[in-house]
């Protein structure tokens, strides 16, 4: 005799099916966007005024050498076939070799990417911890002097050139006050001491028990992460203020006040609770923007991450490294958008 499923089990199965159906739409959209990203990157490599063959053989190579290398790279094939070969290689992680290091491009990216993640993660934490309370405070004090001051502070963080802030920060906080570390991820005397386990210097130094190196890494991380975090604080704060202003005008807020709830309860337990899903999207976009926008700050601080690797590759015309770095950054952005859409639908049943 077969057992009859309980109502709770049926409801749970239906809920899982709803979540799966809700995730299918964003997944298809992301796959289409990924194909579009591959197309854009491929043709970007063909449109840019950089000849990858010439970058390899040099200006002094004869025509026969140039043509031989072009054939080896597949440039003699039809453009559609070249694109299909590129997609096949990209999906298998084969991006060729980097001219700058002679290593496989994917190996280089795996080596430098943890430094970028470390920097971007520290920056988004600063942005979220500061930006959300500032945005809520500005919204609650709308039109008051505190609101105007916070809006000016956030506007400056959103509009000030990041490379200018980096240079000023180095001059003031490193060269003059000596409060923080200078360029690089570590001081020169601490380089290559900690064994590479995860690639994240903060984690690897703790695993190795090197507390002094951990402190040195934090000291070097504070300034670039703080500058990036200031920009994120401005963006997150402005968006939080906008979301909160919309919620504070809703009828349920007035009803909560009439019931005698405290101001803190109305703001945080009611109004802020209803913007958490929107803030999730903002944080994901801000984090993706940090991973993409570390190019300038890594160049200023000689930070050994993906941004500096991308810049150096672009300067010497290494299209293998340039295209691979662009694809990695774009894929991360798409992945963050997919996760955001999925969590959005999980946390807000109305979107399903």
pLDDT at residue number 25: 65
For residues 323 and 328, give the distance between their C-alpha atoms in angstroms, rounded to a whole number. 9
Q: Tell me the pLDDT tens digit for each residue of 149-192.
A: 999 988 888 788 888 888 999 999 999 998 998 888 998 888 88
Q: Is residue 319 part of a domain?
A: no
For residues 205 and 208, give the distance between their C-alpha atoms in angstroms, rounded to a whole number. 5
Question: What's the CA angle centered on 9, arms 7 and 10, to 5 degrees?
Answer: 65
- Domain of 250, CATH number, reads 1.10.3720.10
pLDDT at residue number 262: 84
Which range of residues forms the domain containing residue 278?
108-309
Q: Is residue 240 part of a domain?
A: yes
Q: Is residue 244 part of a domain?
A: yes
pLDDT at residue number 285: 85
pLDDT at residue number 134: 94
Q: Is residue 338 part of a domain?
A: no
pLDDT at residue number 112: 92
pLDDT at residue number 30: 77
Instruction: Give the count of domains, the chain.
Output: 1
Q: Is residue 27 part of a domain?
A: no
Q: Is residue 45 part of a domain?
A: no
For residues 122 and 94, give the distance between their C-alpha atoms in angstroms, rounded to a whole number. 31
210-240 exposure pattern, b = at least 16 Cβ within 10 A, e = fewer: beebbebbbbbbbbbbbbbbbbbbbbbbbbb
User: 277: which 2 tokens?
Assistant: 């899903």
**Which single residue is written with the structure tokens 């996760």?**
339
pLDDT at residue number 1: 45
CB 351 within 8 A of CB 22: yes
Q: Is residue 266 part of a domain?
A: yes
pTM confidence score: 0.82
Residue 299 neighbours by CB under 8 Å, 6+ apart: 163, 307, 308, 311
Q: Is residue 136 part of a domain?
A: yes
Q: What is the pLDDT along the chain (352 residues), one digit of tens a residue?
A: 445 556 666 566 665 666 566 556 667 777 888 888 888 888 877 776 666 777 666 667 777 777 887 777 777 778 888 888 888 888 888 888 887 788 889 999 999 999 999 999 999 999 999 999 999 999 999 989 999 999 998 888 878 888 888 899 999 999 999 899 888 899 888 888 888 888 899 999 999 999 999 999 999 999 999 999 998 999 999 999 999 999 988 888 888 888 888 888 888 888 898 888 889 889 988 998 888 777 888 888 989 999 889 888 888 878 888 888 888 888 888 888 888 777 777 766 655 5
Q: Tell me the pLDDT tens digit for each residue of 244-269.
A: 999 988 888 888 888 888 888 888 88
Q: Tell me the pLDDT tens digit for each residue of 1-17.
A: 445 556 666 566 665 66
pLDDT at residue number 326: 87
């Amino acid at each position: 005799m077969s057992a009859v499923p309980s109502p709770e089990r049926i409801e749970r199965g239906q809920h899982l099916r709803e979540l799966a159906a809700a995730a299918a739409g964003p997944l298809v959209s992301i796959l289409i966007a990924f194909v579009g990203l591959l197309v854009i990157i491929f043709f970007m490599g063909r449109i840019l005024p950089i000849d990858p063959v010439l970058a390899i053989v040099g200006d002094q190579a004869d025509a026969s050498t140039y043509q031989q290398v072009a054939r080896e790279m597949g440039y003699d094939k039809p453009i559609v076939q070249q694109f299909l070969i590129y997609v096949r290689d990209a999906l298998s992680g084969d991006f060729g070799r980097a001219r700058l290091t002679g290593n496989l491009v994917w190996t280089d990216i795996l080596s430098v990417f943890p430094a970028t993640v470390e920097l971007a993660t520290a920056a988004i934490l600063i942005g979220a911890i500061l930006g959300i309370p500032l945005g809520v405070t500005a919204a609650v004090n709308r039109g008051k002097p505190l609101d105007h001051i916070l809006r000016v502070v956030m506007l400056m963080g959103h509009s000030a050139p990041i490379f200018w802030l980096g240079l000023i920060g180095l001059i003031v906080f490193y060269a003059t006050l000596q409060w923080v570390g200078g360029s690089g991820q570590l001081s020169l005397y601490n380089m290559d001491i900690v064994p590479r386990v995860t690639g994240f210097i903060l984690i690897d130094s703790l695993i190795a028990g090197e507390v002094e190196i951990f402190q040195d890494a934090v000291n070097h991380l504070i300034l670039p992460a703080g500058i990036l975090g200031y920009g994120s604080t401005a963006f997150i704060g402005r968006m939080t203020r906008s979301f909160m202003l919309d919620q504070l005008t809703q009828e349920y807020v007035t009803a909560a006040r009439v019931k005698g709830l405290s101001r803190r309860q109305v703001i945080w337990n009611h109004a802020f609770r209803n913007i958490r899903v929107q803030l999730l999207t903002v944080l994901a976009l801000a984090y993706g923007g940090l991973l993409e926008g570390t190019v300038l700050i890594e160049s200023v601080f000689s930070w050994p991450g993906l941004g500096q690797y991308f810049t150096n590759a672009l300067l010497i015309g290494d299209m293998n490294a340039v295209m691979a770095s662009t694809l990695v950054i774009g894929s991360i952005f798409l992945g963050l958008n997919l996760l955001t859409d999925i969590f959005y639908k999980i946390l807000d049943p109305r979107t399903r």
